[in-house]
Each structure stands twice: as structure tokens, then as C-alpha cells.
Structure 1
Amino acid sequence: MKLPNPKIAATLLLFLLLSAIVPYGAAIVSAGSSDSTLPSWEIRFGSAEAETVEEAVAASEDEWIRVTPHDNKSETPRGTSSAWLRISLPQISDKSALFIDKVYGNNVKAYLNNALVYESENKYNFNGIKILIPLSKGDGGQELYIWTQGGSKDLGIEGEIRVDRYNELLSIYVKQGLMDLIIGTTLIFIAIVLLICSLFLKKGFFTGGFLLVLITLSLGVVVVTYSSFLPSILGDYGNVALVFFDLALYTLLPSFTLYFERIFGPGKKQIVTRFRKFQMVYSIFCLSLMIINILLSYQLEDFYRFMTSSVLGVIMIVQFVLLVSLAFIHAYRRNTDAIVFTTGFTVFALMSISELIKYYVSGESYQLYWWKWGMVGFVISLIIILGRRFTRNHEQLVEYSRKLEKFNNDLQRSEKMEIISELAASVAHEVRNPLQVTRGFLQILGERSDHKEREYMQMAIAELDRATVIISDFLTFAKPGLETIERLDVSEELRHVSGILSPLANLQGGVIELNLQSGLCVIGSSAKFKQAFINIIKNSIEALQDNGLIRVTAWKSGAHIMISVRDNGEGMNGSELTRLGEPYYSNKTKGTGLGLMVTFRIIEAMEGTTEFQSEKGEGTEIIVKLPKV
């Protein structure tokens, strides 16, 4: 069974993940409004912090201000630290409940029929809390009073108030509250998995993987600690969430810039490096200020919040503008990593901006959800960039392995050639002389013999001549040097070779076709050049079948002369191609393999290269590349 392409498989998995995420997010957004939404409620700002519910009920109607879900949240008057909210309940059935999107204040209490039905005390409720109060059928038509006190934002309700069946509102409460926790903990889990994988990487890859771990982990902690659902879980330990939120932010910003720097470089005039160093110094300053503030029992809280909220927010804006601008520049230069980075960040920015527009158009009653998924998409783009770097290094390693294998094969071939060269040089001269003497005596004996013996003598002489040719090839292979160096006209030399071999090609039922440019010149020995191409074309002729054709083409290519000899013969398979040039390897019945060995050595002596291309049954092409004069 053939496995799918890894890129196709990854795309399919991502599509399946999004197909699971989008309906879930859409269900949460669609739960943001329903027919059970109350049209309005009332607010009354109080001056006394210890005002009782009886006093709030007895207050005159002129003190109450009517508010609708589409109104902006009322601005808290100066010197006011508490407020009362009055909600008129509609007629309801059993197993109903009241759900409020967000109530601001550190201390929140709810009263129904002057009885306390809900209470929450949290000093770190900066993002507002969600309230779900169970109701019975007898509570219909009553008025619910909510007292809220403290906090850093204006007191009151943001969003909508809904009265519906308890099970349906509980589902909305849990989905909206746990969304941040699910996304945040998912990012933290991804960071842990990446960290474990990074431990098995080499030092060069570990740094990039570890930076991605820091970015993903910091984003996860930021999302979790920013959740409005967290205060109801931590209770009095909300300050711990704030500490982790700040630590994650101090880690995220310089890590993100360093990750960008490692991928795209330091930028013009080292701007990215300088900004990253500034961020690291400022993060250390904020961390020191946080420690001092905790040791002084939060006496520097206002100054600390200014330095870590207002000032740090401006630094974040500058950071994103700088990095996105540089990413767009790299993307314009067709840097694939920059295109992936820019795409991921653009998706995140578009989701965030569109939700902010909808948030302000709806009078700040819309609940922001999709920006978190955009952030997840941005993290995925960072993971893709890191994965691409791993892929590039893997491809480089594979390419290096191929080159190393080719080098080893060439080295082995060179060693074989050297051994045969030494053997040929030491034996050829000693063998050829006795052969010539023997041939001479056989000719003398043949002249004095009868017809039958003379026939045997001629066969013996023919075999001696064949042995002499082999020995000559050995000598040529052992000493491929070009004794006479001259300027050769490639076209004229190839025409001469074609004229010699055309009769042989005709006997095989084939023709030689020439397609030669003029003015092609190389440096070499005319005799050796002819010998090399006679061997090449002769091999092509012997491979021809019916209606054979050998096309010889020569042309200029930059600083080289290219010569192609292509036939439509029987061709060769891959294993046969790899063995070409080996001693004593030949596809011919009486071949020795020395002809191609000699050809290779002659072309190497002329500082050229040889390339073979062939398919079984389709023919063979030999391309010789020689330096141009």
C-alpha cells in the first residue's frame, strides 16, 4: 500500500482539525445572543460602602439609571467605589437561571427577596466575572439586586443578561468560561511536547526549537491567566495568576523577537538585534520591579502597573509593527518562511481587528472569541517555519549523502583505473613484443604449409592481432596523455569519424546523421579525439536494430563545447549504466570493456566530462562536455 504524500497528509489533518474547531467556536458565538435576553436593567451608584440591600430597595426611583445591552457601560462617578444593579425578572418556569456575561468589581453579592443568593470576593477581578444564579418559578416577577464594589474598571455590567432554562445557560457558562482555559492549556501541552522533542535535537536545532517552546508556553499561560473564568477557580489566589501573566509576557516578547531574528536575520543596521536587546533589558527591569512590589506588599502597584501595562503596551505595538513590516519585505522578496509568517500573523490580525470592530459597533456588548483561534493559527505558522528548517536540513543531509556516495564510487573507480593502469604499463610492453615475434614465425610457417594448415595459421594470426589490439588499448589506457597538443575543429573531426564509420553503420542497417555548429574548437590530440569518438559511435552502431539512427550533435554552451551521440538502439537499464567503464564489463559477446575505459581516460585528459542517459528499448545518449577554446 502506497503511503500518501506527507504534505498532503499534513494539510488533510489541519483541515480536519479546523472542521472540528470552527463549528465549536461558531456554536459559542451563536450562543452569545438569544430571545431570552433582558432588554434593560438599572444601576445606582452608592457612596456608602456598607449600604444594605434594604437601603437599596428603599432608594427613590430618581437615583436609578436605566441601562440597555447596547449602551456603553456607565462611567463610575469620582469618589464612588460601589454600585447597585436592579434587574426585573420576567415570568419564568422551574429549573431556570439568570446568566450575566460580565460584572466588574472585586466584591459581588446578589440578593433576591432581600436574601443573599450569590457572593464572590476576588481582589484580582480585572476582567470581570460571569454570574449564573439558579431561579425557581416563584422568583418570576421579582427584582434581583446585585451589589458590586472595588476594581480597576468602571462598575457595572458589560454584555447581556439572559434568563432561560438552567441547563442551557449552564452550557453557555461553561463553554464561554472554559474556552480560554482549553486554548491556553492546549498551547501549554504543545509546548511541553515540543520541549520533549527538542531534547533529542542537536545543538544547532535545539535553540530554534526551545525558542518556539518559550513562545508557545508563554502564549498558553497568557491566555489561561487572562481568562475571566479563572478568578472563580483561584479565589483568594488571584494574585498568583497575575504574577504568571506578567512572567509569561516578559518571556514572550524578547523570545518572539529572537525567534524572528534567527529566521530572518538581524535586519538592516542590526535593528532587530538592538530591539531584542532592549526588550530583554526592559523585561529584566519589569521583573525586578515586580519582585520589589511584592516585597513591599504592593505599595508600588500603581507605578508597576503603569510600567508594565501602558509602557509595555507601547513597546508591544512597536514590536509588532517592526516585525510585520520586515516580514512583508522578506515576503515581497519571495522568502517562503516570511510568506508563512506573514500569512499566520495576518490571519491573527484580521480576526482580532474584525472582532474589535464588531465589539465597538455592538456597544462593547460583543464577547471576543475568535482572536484566540487566530493566535493558535499564528503559533501553527511558527511551527511550520521551524518544520521547514528541519526539512531543509534533512534535504541538505540527503544531498550530502548522495554526493558522498558519488564521491566514493568515483574514488573506487579511480583506484581501479590506477591499478589497471599500473598493470597495463608493466605488462603491455613485455607481452606485445613476444606476440609480434610469434606472429612473424607463424606467417613464415604458413607460407610453407599446405592449404589446410595455412587456414589454421591464419586463424592463429587473427587471434594474435586481436590480442595485440587489446594490448594497444591497455597502453592507451595506461598512458592517456596527449602527446601532440593542437587546436581541433570539432566539426571537422566528427565528420572524419563519421566518414570512417558510415560503411559499418550501413552494414548494420543504420545511418549516421550529423548536426554540427561551426566554429567549435577545443585543445587536444586529433588521433586521441578520433579514437574516443570512434569507440563511442562504434558502440552505438553495434546497439542498432532495424532502421537504426545515430544522431551526432555539437553546439556551444557557455564556456564549453557539448557533443551528443544519440542512438535508437536497444538501450540499457540503470544497473548497466552504473557499470559502464568498469574493466572487463561489456554488453557485447566478445567485448572487453576496455574501449570505454580508454574513451573515459582520453576525455578526462582533455579536461572533459561524460554523461550517459539511456532507457531499455529506447536507445542511449552520450553527452561529452569539453572546455571551449
Structure 2
Amino acid sequence: MYEALPKAMNVRNVLFTCFFLLFILLPERTYAEQQQGSTENIMKWQMKWGDQDELDEGPPSIKSDDGWSNMSEGDTLPEKPYSNSTAWIKIHLPTIKFDRPGMLLSNIFGQRIKVFLENKEIYSSNIRFLYDKNNIFLPLEVSGGGKNIYIGIQTTKDQVGIQELPQIGNSEDLLHQFLLKDVINIILGSSFLFIALVIFICSIFLNKVHSSSWISLSIIIAGFGVLVLIYSPFLYTFYNDYSDVYLQLLDVALFVLIPSMTYFFELVLGTGYHSILTKFRKFQCAYSIVCFICLVVYLVIPRNFFEMYYNLTVDMFVLIVVVQLVLLTVHSIMQALKGNRNGILLAVGLIVLEITCVTEFIWFLIRSGSYDLFIWKWGVTVFILSLILVLGRNYAQNHNQVIKYAKELELFNTDLHRSEKLSIISELAASVAHEVKNPLQVTRGFLQFLTNRYSNQEKIYITMALEELDRASNIITDFLTFAKPQFESITLLDLNKELKHVEGIMMPLANLQGGRIQMQIPVHLRVKGNSSKLKQAFINVIKNSIEALSENGEINIWAYEEEDQTVIHIQDNGEGMSANELIKLGEPYFSSKTKGTGLGLMVSYRIIEVMDGSIEFKSEKGVGTEAIIRLPSAND
């Protein structure tokens, strides 16, 4: 149960992340569609070109009727003439039938924008950034119906104008729709940053071996979070004064992001052919350091250093990212073809990211720039999910490995404890057995001599004493065998013949218990050992099985060859043993029988151990017990 816990938690967290990201990436138009009945679209407007000074002078400089062109939805955004730097858009307001009116201007392309209601300036923005898509909300008055809205736009880009129909409606509805357009990016970017923070905090509690991948992943997710946030017009609409800071923050995030991605793949999938990922990562780190230095210089002398900084951080950066994606994709696919599941996950995530970005960029070019990029966010989300899945999978594998090592350590400690106990008993048995056996033999001799000189009743007592002496002598013999199970002579033994002999010895005892022995031993199996010791080991095991039988009991014995080992199974349908009893099996003085000492099975363990074999027991209470004995095969 505990082994499956990390996997279950990992799956739960991934599913939660998927549903959460799916929720925040729902189409942005849902709310707008619900509000269609409370808004009115302006279907046509006019546009003309002017000089830069006209934007500062305002509408009086362009109010003449000359030069205006009619525009409507679906028209291609006009390209800026070389001789003109300002575009003017005139929107005639219809009669306003809303109590608290407002206007929403979506996807206006421009960097410096001023909006006038007739001659009165009601909005102004100046985005000092390459990003030029704006969403503008304008509160209006009912008395504004029938008047003209003038929008002055300046930009360094080629395209300028309105991409979507202007809307007039209730201020609350339009403001909600206005906020919803950009707040999705804020939520998504903030979610990425939050996930990155959680992963980074978790990495603090890990050792150095595992914390590297966690920290690199947190940097990757944080980098994409910053990218999503800064892509949003929300920041430039409400916090335009910090636009330069956004640009610098984006540069820093990208400088850190690219080597972190390579490093994460290097940790998860290896260094690649001739350590190419390691070499490329070192180059990226050097490039990022140079970019950091250039950023500092650019902040000090921006005018003299802009062109060099732009070429270094834009043109060269794009080339490095393309090379990086190719390397990571090829490496992931190669690992995936080798059956590496992490390689499969990372290859899928990368390919989805690349397909979405390339496809959307091509469509952006086809639409001549009049397209709002948003599908790439899905690609980033899928890629981040693949990274999290890989990290979670590695965590689950590490947890399972720890569980495995803990079990192996427990078994090792059990075997070590057992070996220590057996070593102590062996030394004790060897010293005591030699000292006790000789006096017992002398005592037995005198008792046999006295049997001829006493009456029948007294003979019975002496006979009982002799039997007890014999039992004591057998126990001492077992002690000696356990302590020093060396074989006097080692020969090539026919396992079929040896076990047939054991079957003949044990069959009467089995019949007395109401059971029977069935044996299937191939004639070609050979092992090396001492015949009497081998028989003694099997007799002890079979004797235990017989004593566990009830009426109509059965013992099945079969053997076969498996690679370089001969495997013998002894299975009974007796009373079986519990898990606790099975663990103690083979320990000194443990026996499930009333008068048992446990030495017989210990002797069997020692004999098989000296023969370089092993013995294993499987048992279930009320079902029976199975002994599996493995000995080195002597078949040539």
C-alpha cells in the first residue's frame, strides 16, 4: 500500500494541475458571448495618415474631411507609409441608449496612443516596448452620442490600426470583458510562478543529488511564467510606467531559462552523444553571463549600446534556442526509442510545444500580423506538465527504491542476527557435545549391564532410562552435525536414488499419520555431496511435513533442473504456519511441536548451506507448507 502512495499522490497532483490549467485557459470569448445582448458594435470607422506633430496638437489639426478612408471589420491592417508616422482613426458615436455607457477598443496596434472625444483628451498611453497590441476601455457619458472619437496612433512597427470592432455598452459589462481579456494571462503566469515557488521550497529539503533537478525545473517553470505575464497587455495597460522593467525582467528570465532547460534534460536523460548536452549547456551559461554584463552596460548607456544589445539578445538568442530545441528533441526521441519512459514524456512535451509555436507563428505571418497569439500557451502548459510528470515519476521510483532497500536491509539484518545466534550455538554445541557424549555412553553401558541383574519391573525402568539416554545422544549428534557439518566423503549423488531411499524410510511414518508420499524425480539429476548428510537433511524436512499432516494428508516431492541448479520441492497439505511462525523457522529452539527442539531443521539448513545450496519455505495457515531446496547441479 505504501509503495503505491507516491504514485497515487503524483497522479492526483497532475490531474489537479491539468484541470486547473484547463479552467484558466478556457476560451476568453465565453463571457463576451454571454454579453452580446448588452453591447452594440460599431461596424464602420475612418482612418487617415498624419505627421508626428499632429498627435501632440490633437484633433484640430486633422478635422478636415480630406484624406479619410472608410474601414470596417475584416479589412487588412494598413501598412504605415514611409513618410508618415501617425495614424488617425475617427469613430462616430451613435445615439447612446445605456445608462452608464462605455466603449471597448480591442486589439489596437500601436505604441503611443491618444484618444480624444472631439477636442477633449480622455486617454493616453506610451508603451516603450516592442509589444504593440492594446486593449482600451473608455468610460463615456450619455451626452456623448452623436460626437466623434479621434484615436491618434504612433508606432515603430509596420502595421497600425484596429483589428476588432469597437463596442459600446454598459460600463460594468465592458469593463468585465476588458479585464477578462488579459487577466487570463495573469492567472496562468502567476500559476506557473506559484508552482515554481512550491517546487523550489520542496527542493530545500532534498539532498544535493535530487535537489538539482527540482531547482532546475522550478527555474524553467518560473521563466515561462514570466514570459506569459510579460506577454500580456494587462501590465502595459495598467502599469505602463514600468514597461522598461518588464523588458529587463524578460531578458533575465530568458537568460536563466535556456541553460536550465538543457541542464534538466541532462540530469534526466543523460549527457548525450559525446557529452554534447553538457558542452552546449556550458556554452549557454557563458552566453548568459555575457548577456547579463551587456544588460548592465545597456542600462548605463542605452543609446550607444542598443544595436549591439539587440543583436546579441534577439538575433543570436533565437539561433541558440533553435539549436537547443533540435538537440533536446533528438536526444529525447533517441532515449524514447530505447524504451526510456522519461524520454517519451519529454519528447511528447517538446514536440507539442514546437508544433504549437511553429504553427501559430506561420499563421501569424499568413495573417500579416493581424492575429492574436494564444495557442503557444497550450504548448507551454503541455511541456511544463511533461516536466512535472517526469519529476513525479522519478520521485516515485526513488521512493520505491528506498522501500526496496529497506526491505533488503531488514532481511540482511535478520540473516545477520540469525548467523550470530547460530555462530554462538555452534561454538557452544561443539564444546558441550564432546564433553557430554562420552559420559552418556559410559552410563548407557552400565545400565545395559544392570538389566540382566534386576527383575522385570526394574528392567522397565532401566529400559526407559536407556531410551532417554539414546534421545539425549541423538540431540547431541544433531548438535555436532549442526556445529561441524563437514562431509567425510563427497561423491556424485543420483538424486532419484537418494530420495527413493528417503521415501522408503519415511513411508511407514507417513502411513501411521494417515498420509501418503508421492514423488516424481527425473533419473538424470545429479548433485555433489555426502549421501548420509543429504538424506538426513531431507528426512528432517519430510518428517516435519508428515507431523503436520492430518487424515488423508499428502506430501508431493518433485524436482527439476533450472539453469545451473537442481530444484527440489517438498509440498504438504498439512496445517501450515502463520507469517510469524514462518519468519522464525530455522531459528534455534523454535518448533511448533510440543516436544520439538528445532534442531532437526537447523541441521537441514546447515547441511544444505555447506553444499552451497539454499532452502526456502512458503506456508499458509490451514493450506499447507512448501519447502524449496536449491542445490548446485552436477550434470555435465
TM > 0.5 between the two?
yes
Equivalent-residue separation in structure 2 for 1:24 and 1:259 (angstroms): 27
Residue in 1 aligned with 2:77?
A: 73
Letter in 1 for 2:614: T
Equivalent-residue separation in structure 2 for 1:447 and 1:72 (angstroms): 131
Please list, as runs of the form range in 1=range in 2, the aligned pairs for 1:230-629 lying within 5 A after superposition.
230-349=235-354, 352=357, 367-629=372-634
Equivalent-residue separation in structure 2 for 1:390 and 1:617 (angstroms): 41
Residue in 1 aligned with 2:61?
A: 55
With 245-254 and 182-191 compared, the bigger mean Cα shift is at 182-191
The alpha carbon displacement at 1:420 in A equals 1.2
Letter in 2 for 1:139: G
SS of the equivalent of 2:239 reads helix
Residue in 1 aligned with 2:188?
A: 183
Equivalent-residue separation in structure 2 for 1:12 and 1:395 (angstroms): 18
Instruction: Indicate conservation of the 8 Å contact 1:29/1:369, yes or no.
Output: no
Equivalent-residue separation in structure 1 for 2:59 and 2:616 (angstroms): 96
Letter in 2 for 1:525: N
The alpha carbon displacement at 1:230 in A equals 1.2
The alpha carbon displacement at 1:177 in A equals 1.9
The alpha carbon displacement at 1:613 in A equals 0.6
Equivalent-residue separation in structure 2 for 1:210 and 1:575 (angstroms): 45
The alpha carbon displacement at 1:552 in A equals 0.7
Residue in 2 aligned with 1:150?
A: 155
Equivalent-residue separation in structure 2 for 1:183 and 1:580 (angstroms): 61
Distance 1:293 1:364, change over 3 A: closer
SS of the equivalent of 1:584 reads coil
Superposed CA deviations along residues 512-571 of structure 1, whole A, max 9, x for unmatched, are 111222321111111111110011111111111121111111111111111111111110
Residue in 2 aligned with 1:11?
A: 11
SS of the equivalent of 2:163 reads strand
Instruction: Indicate conservation of the 8 Å contact 2:54/2:61, yes or no.
Output: no
Equivalent-residue separation in structure 2 for 1:531 and 1:453 (angstroms): 35
SS of the equivalent of 1:58 reads coil
Equivalent-residue separation in structure 1 for 2:445 and 2:18 (angstroms): 91
Equivalent-residue separation in structure 1 for 2:363 and 2:96 (angstroms): 31
SS of the equivalent of 1:298 reads helix
The alpha carbon displacement at 1:320 in A equals 1.6
Instruction: Indicate conservation of the 8 Å contact 1:42/1:65, yes or no.
Output: yes
Distance 1:300 1:312, change over 3 A: same
Letter in 2 for 1:285: V
With 554-563 and 27-36 compared, the bigger mean Cα shift is at 27-36
Equivalent-residue separation in structure 1 for 2:474 and 2:626 (angstroms): 27
Letter in 1 for 2:340: N
Q: Which runs of 5+ in 1 are unaligned?
A: none
Equivalent-residue separation in structure 1 for 2:474 and 2:182 (angstroms): 93
Letter in 1 for 2:80: T
Equivalent-residue separation in structure 2 for 1:37 and 1:367 (angstroms): 20
The alpha carbon displacement at 1:447 in A equals 2.0
With 238-247 and 194-203 compared, the bigger mean Cα shift is at 194-203
With 532-541 and 190-199 compared, the bigger mean Cα shift is at 190-199
Matched, 1:92 2:92: no
SS of the equivalent of 1:118 reads strand
Equivalent-residue separation in structure 2 for 1:2 and 1:171 (angstroms): 48
With 326-335 and 367-376 compared, the bigger mean Cα shift is at 367-376
The alpha carbon displacement at 1:193 in A equals 2.3
Q: Percent of aligned pairs with the same residue?
A: 41
Instruction: Indicate conservation of the 8 Å contact 1:425/1:474, yes or no.
Output: yes
Letter in 1 for 2:162: I
Letter in 2 for 1:44: K
The alpha carbon displacement at 1:344 in A equals 3.2
Letter in 1 for 2:189: G
The alpha carbon displacement at 1:272 in A equals 1.6
Distance 1:366 1:154, change over 3 A: closer
Equivalent-residue separation in structure 2 for 1:179 and 1:169 (angstroms): 16
The alpha carbon displacement at 1:290 in A equals 2.3
Instruction: Indicate conservation of the 8 Å contact 2:571/2:625, yes or no.
Output: yes
Equivalent-residue separation in structure 2 for 1:560 and 1:295 (angstroms): 79
Instruction: Indicate conservation of the 8 Å contact 2:14/2:389, yes or no.
Output: no
Instruction: Indicate conservation of the 8 Å contact 1:344/1:377, yes or no.
Output: yes
The alpha carbon displacement at 1:12 in A equals 4.3
Letter in 2 for 1:200: F
Matched, 1:112 2:117: yes
Q: What TM-score, normalized by structure 1, do the two folds share?
A: 0.93
Equivalent-residue separation in structure 2 for 1:301 and 1:79 (angstroms): 24
Equivalent-residue separation in structure 2 for 1:17 and 1:275 (angstroms): 32
The alpha carbon displacement at 1:224 in A equals 1.8
Superposed CA deviations along residues 59-78 of structure 1, whole A, max 9, x for unmatched, are 41xx2334444333221111
SS of the equivalent of 1:186 reads helix
SS of the equivalent of 2:181 reads helix
Instruction: Indicate conservation of the 8 Å contact 1:46/1:82, yes or no.
Output: yes
Letter in 1 for 2:60: E
Instruction: Indicate conservation of the 8 Å contact 1:82/1:155, yes or no.
Output: no
Distance 1:3 1:513, change over 3 A: closer
Equivalent-residue separation in structure 1 for 2:615 and 2:71 (angstroms): 88
Equivalent-residue separation in structure 2 for 1:334 and 1:159 (angstroms): 49
Q: What TM-score, normalized by structure 2, do the two folds share?
A: 0.92
**Number of matched residues?**
627
Letter in 2 for 1:544: L
Superposed CA deviations along residues 181-206 of structure 1, whole A, max 9, x for unmatched, are 22222222222222222222212122
The alpha carbon displacement at 1:409 in A equals 1.4
With 184-193 and 430-439 compared, the bigger mean Cα shift is at 184-193
The alpha carbon displacement at 1:305 in A equals 2.0
Equivalent-residue separation in structure 2 for 1:404 and 1:217 (angstroms): 40
Distance 1:20 1:214, change over 3 A: closer
Residue in 1 aligned with 2:22?
A: 22
With 84-93 and 507-516 compared, the bigger mean Cα shift is at 84-93
Letter in 1 for 2:61: E
The alpha carbon displacement at 1:132 in A equals 0.6
Equivalent-residue separation in structure 1 for 2:391 and 2:17 (angstroms): 20
Equivalent-residue separation in structure 2 for 1:27 and 1:165 (angstroms): 22
Distance 1:32 1:271, change over 3 A: farther
Distance 1:269 1:4, change over 3 A: closer
Matched, 1:122 2:127: yes
SS of the equivalent of 2:121 reads strand
The alpha carbon displacement at 1:54 in A equals 2.0
Distance 1:214 1:555, change over 3 A: same
Letter in 2 for 1:54: P
Matched, 1:45 2:49: yes
SS of the equivalent of 1:117 reads strand
Instruction: Indicate conservation of the 8 Å contact 2:578/2:620, yes or no.
Output: yes
SS of the equivalent of 1:229 reads helix
Equivalent-residue separation in structure 2 for 1:507 and 1:594 (angstroms): 23
The alpha carbon displacement at 1:100 in A equals 1.9
Instruction: Indicate conservation of the 8 Å contact 1:532/1:598, yes or no.
Output: yes
The alpha carbon displacement at 1:360 in A equals 6.7
SS of the equivalent of 2:574 reads coil
Instruction: Indicate conservation of the 8 Å contact 1:25/1:370, yes or no.
Output: no
The alpha carbon displacement at 1:572 in A equals 0.5
Distance 1:170 1:359, change over 3 A: farther
The alpha carbon displacement at 1:251 in A equals 0.6
Letter in 2 for 1:65: S
Instruction: Indicate conservation of the 8 Å contact 2:357/2:375, yes or no.
Output: yes
Residue in 1 aligned with 2:231?
A: 226
SS of the equivalent of 1:517 reads coil
The alpha carbon displacement at 1:24 in A equals 4.6
Letter in 1 for 2:289: I
Superposed CA deviations along residues 293-323 of structure 1, whole A, max 9, x for unmatched, are 2222333323322332233123212222321
